[in-house]
Amino acid sequence: NAGVTQTPKFQVLKTGQSMTLQCAQDMNHEYMSWYRQDPGMGLRLIHYSVGAGITDQGEVPNGYNVSRSTTEDFPLRLLSAAPSQTSVYFCASSFSADRGKQPQHFGDGTRLSIL
């Protein structure tokens, strides 16, 4: 049982480059989300999805795109990387968003540096 798998674990990009952070879960969870974690800021929600074909913006969506073509996968795209996007990115999933008790299962993160 892999849970939530994120790839790559580390990435260095140059300003202006684009890339996709991959996230896959094998728990048949409806709800998936992307967070970024910066020192002293906790985790901030970037985008989320309540099911295949449905996505919505979180707290800090600018500069990022997402899609949810399947239940399992929720990739995060950086369109034109900027140094301000240097961060640790976490993908999370839960069975359903619509129940306050649902735990979020997190991947181990992608550490991204933009030069």
Instruction: Enumerate binding residues for other proteins (CB under 8 A).
Output: 4, 31, 33, 35, 40-45, 48, 50, 56, 58-59, 90, 92, 97-98, 100-101, 103-104, 106-109
Give φ, ψ of 4 to 5 degrees: -105, 125
* DSSP-derived secondary structure for 24-59: EESS--SEEEEEEEETTTEEEEEEEEEETTEEEE-S
Q: How far is the CB of 103 from other proteins (least distance, A)?
A: 4
Complex with other proteins: residue 77 or 111, whichever CB lies closer: 111
Complex with other proteins: residue 16 or 56, whichever CB lies closer: 56
Q: How far is the CB of 13 from other proteins (least distance, A)?
A: 20
Question: Which helix (DSSP H) or strand (DSSP E) does residue 90 occupy?
Answer: strand 87-94
Q: Say which residue the tokens 């999933």 belong to.
A: 93
Complex with other proteins: residue 35 or 74, whichever CB lies closer: 35
Closest CA to 11 of 87, 62, 66: 87
Complex with other proteins: residue 19 or 50, whichever CB lies closer: 50
Could you give the maximum distance between any two Cα atoms of the chain, in Å?
40
Q: How far is the CB of 61 from other proteins (least distance, A)?
A: 12
Q: How far is the CB of 14 from other proteins (least distance, A)?
A: 25
CA 70 to the chain's CA centroid: 15
